[in-house]
């Protein structure tokens, strides 16, 4: 996983609550058995006025020239709710999103994001609205600097700083770009110890391998 320390980019406001993963990437847009080829289907229901013909809807924020190159999404409560599809995270990252800032995230989405190096930041709704107002006056100029070391969001020209909180383990994993499976494999002896103890306690849990 690519380590995440600092990101400087254009932010796009998508200030709706409860944006679900079916909207982020509809089932019909997940066409291949892989983690890629998904960017084209990102936000398809909103991004296209005709999804089949890929006719862009000019009203959708990510289609607007002023937000071209956006890599930070400012959004509403409970972002990423619904289906557990990790494709939502893969689609956002493939499209170029590096950071999502919301008052809260759905747990599975947040976990999926963390495991792929997409930074999710929880910030109060009024602070997000303030950031959105500021970036929307000139999105290309009014960029945000997200610093994971310092846990801060700097509104570049505005000079204002928002400090955010993040789980220390999540922060470490992102900064170091850690492979979680590799990390857990270091605890393999503990897992085996657990199984040996647990087989005495809950023998019915351990099925025989028929082969």
Partner 1 sequence: MTLFDKLWEEHEVEALSERQSLLYVDRIFLHERTGSVALNSLLEHGRSVRQRQHAFCTMDHIVDTRPGRSDDTLMPSGRDFIVATRSAAHETGIQLFDIQDPNQGIVHVISPELGIALPGLSVICPDSHTCTLGGLGVLAWGVGSTEAEHALATSTLRVTRPKTMRVQFVGRMAKHVTAKDLILYTIRSLSASGGAGYAIEFAGPAIKALPIESRLTLCNMATELSAFTGLIAPDEQVIDYCEGRPFAPQGAAWEAACRHWQTLQSDTDARFDCEHQIDIESLKPQLTWGTSPQHCIDWDGEIPRAGEAPDEATAVSWQQAQAYMGVAAGHRLSDYRLDAAFIGSCTNSRLSDLREVADYLTQTGHRVAQGVKALCVPGSGGVKRAAEAEGIDAVFRQAGFEWREPGCSMCFFAGGESLGEGVRVASTTNRNFEGRQGLGVRTHLGSPLSVVASACAGHLLADLSP
Tell me how many residues contact partner 1 (CB under 8 A).
Answer: 62
- Judged by CB under 8 A, which of 7, 8, 30, 150 binds partner 1? 30
The values of phi and psi at residue 150, to 5°, are: -90, -5
| Binds partner 1 by CB under 8 A, chosen from 85, 91, 131, 146 | 85
- Dig out the tokens for 170 from the structure: 């999540």
d(CA 48, CA 51): 5
The tokens for 79 are 């972002």
Query: Three-class SS of residue 153?
Result: strand
Identify the residue whose tokens are 């008052």. 103
What is the pattern of x (binds partner 1, CB under 8 A) and - over residues 112-151?
A: x--xx--------x--------------------------
Which residues, 6 or more positions from 159, have their beta carbon under 8 angstroms from its beta carbon? none
Q: Is 169 in the site for partner 1 (CB under 8 A)?
A: yes
Beta bridge partners of 75: 14
Interface contacts to partner 1, rule CB under 8 A? 15-18, 20, 22-23, 26-28, 30-35, 45, 51, 76-78, 81-87, 89, 104, 106-108, 111-112, 115-116, 125, 167-169, 180-181, 183-185, 187-188, 190-191, 194-195, 198, 202-205, 207-211
């Amino acid at each position: 996983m690519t380590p995440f320390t600092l990101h400087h980019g254009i932010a796009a406001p998508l200030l709706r609550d409860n944006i679900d993963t079916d909207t982020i990437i509809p089932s019909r847009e997940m066409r291949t058995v892989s983690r890629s080829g998904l960017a084209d289907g990102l936000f398809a229901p909103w991004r296209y006025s005709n999804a089949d013909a890929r006719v862009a809807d000019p009203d959708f924020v990510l289609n607007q020239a002023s937000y071209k190159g956006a890599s930070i999404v400012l959004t509403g409560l409970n972002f990423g709710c619904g289906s557990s599809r990790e494709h939502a995270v893969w689609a956002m990252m493939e499209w170029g999103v590096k950071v999502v800032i919301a008052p809260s995230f759905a747990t599975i989405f947040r976990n999926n994001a963390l495991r792929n190096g997409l930074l999710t930041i929880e910030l109060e709704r009024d602070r997000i609205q303030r950031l959105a107002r500021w970036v929307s006056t000139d999105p290309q100029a009014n960029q945000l600097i997200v610093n994971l070391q310092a846990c801060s969001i700097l509104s570049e020209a505005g000079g204002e700083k928002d400090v955010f909180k993040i789980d220390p383990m999540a922060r470490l994993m992102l900064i170091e770009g850690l492979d979680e499976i590799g990390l857990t494999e270091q605890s393999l002896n503990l897992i085996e110890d657990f199984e040996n103890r647990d087989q005495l306690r809950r023998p019915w849990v351990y099925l025989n391998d028929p082969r």
